[in-house]
Amino acid sequence: MVTLNVNGVRHQVQASDDTPLLYVLRNDLQLIGPQFGCGLAQCGACSVLAEGREVRSCVMPVSAFANQEITTLEGLPARWAKQKGLSPEAAKSALHPVQEAWIEQQTPHCGFCQNGMMIKATELLESNPNPTVAEIKEAFTTSGPSPHLCRCGTYKAILEAVQHAATIMTQRS
């Protein structure tokens, strides 16, 4: 039995301690934003934020997250609402600026990798609101356990969406 704090909600889960967090999120908590891409910490499809840091849920055991605040793709709007002190009403309809930018820029193709891309973008923009192109490339390539891979080749659209999100976030701060 493990207690998890995901997207601001506490959950008691039955899974054994060594179960990778990804399976708990997807199968026990029905949080389907993170996807299984490799199970090897090589691609980033399974990324979530733990204490604001991007981690690979496919390889990390659920027990490692006992006292951590986890945010999945589903939790990005609420995370933004909390950071901005939005009213519950406003929070309901809002997406995170990163998600808005991803739509505005029509970034995903198949979209299977984009959970990790949006999680990475959120991590980056929370610490660096105005990243340069080099900093964005660095974030998606060398900052994490592995580069964030997109087989559909949407890197240009991702880069433009990060820049777009940075603009929205600056405007609203």
Partner 1 sequence: MATTSPGHANVTGPTLSRRDFIRTGGVLVVGFSFIGTKALKADAGRPAAMKNTLDPTLPGSWIEIHPDNTLLIRTGKSDFGQSTTFTAYRQIVADELSVPFEAITTVVAGDTDSTPDGSGAFDFLGEGMPNIRKAAAYTYQALLDLASERLGVPKDKLSVKDGIVSGGGRTISYGDLVKDQQLKLTIPVSGDLTSIMGLTIEGNPPMKPVSQYSVIGKSFKNSIISSKVAAKTTWATDVRLPGMLHARMVHPKTLGSTLVSAGTLDKTKFPNSQLIVKGNLVGVVAPTEWEAIQASEQVASGTKWTEWKGLPGNEKLHEHLRHQADWTSTPVAKGDANKGDAAAALAAAQKRLSATYQFSYMKHAPIGPTMALADVKPDGTVHIYTHNQNPQALRGEIAMMLRTTPEHVIVHVYPGPGHYGRSNGGNAGAEDEAVLLSQALGKPVRVHWTRADDMKWSTQSPAAFSDVQLAVDEKGKLAAYQIDHYMPAMQDDRPIGAVLAGLPTMQAPQPKGDFVSSTVNGISDPWIYAQTPNVMELGHGTFQVGQQASPLAVGLRDHSMRTPGQFQQNYPRELAINEAAALAGADAIQFRIDHASEERVIGVLKAVRDASGWETRPSPRPDAVATGSTPVRGRGVSVMLRSRTYWACVCEIAVTPATGAVVVEKYTIAVDPGIVVNPMQLKRQVEGGAMMGVSHALFEEATFDESGITTSDWISYPIPTMSDMPEINVVLLNNPKVGTYGGGSEAANALAAPAIAAALHDATGRILRRLPLKPAYVQAMLKT
Residues in CB range of 105: below 8 A, 6 or more apart:
157, 160, 161, 164
The distance of Cα 5 from the centroid of its chain, to the nearest Å, equals: 15
Contacts of ligand FES in 47-106 (CB under 6 A): 56, 58
Among 136, 165, 166, 169, which residue sits at the site for partner 1 (rule: CB under 8 A)? 136
Q: How far apart (Å, rounded) are the C-alpha atoms in residues 57 and 44?
A: 9
**Residue (68 or 112) nearer to partner 1, CB:** 112
Minimal distance, residue 166 CB to partner 1, in Å: 16
Binding mask 43-62 for partner 1 (x = CB under 8 A): x-x-----------------
Q: Are strands 69-71 and 2-6 parallel, antiparallel or unpaired?
A: parallel
Among 90, 141, 170, 172, which residue sits at the site for partner 1 (rule: CB under 8 A)? 141
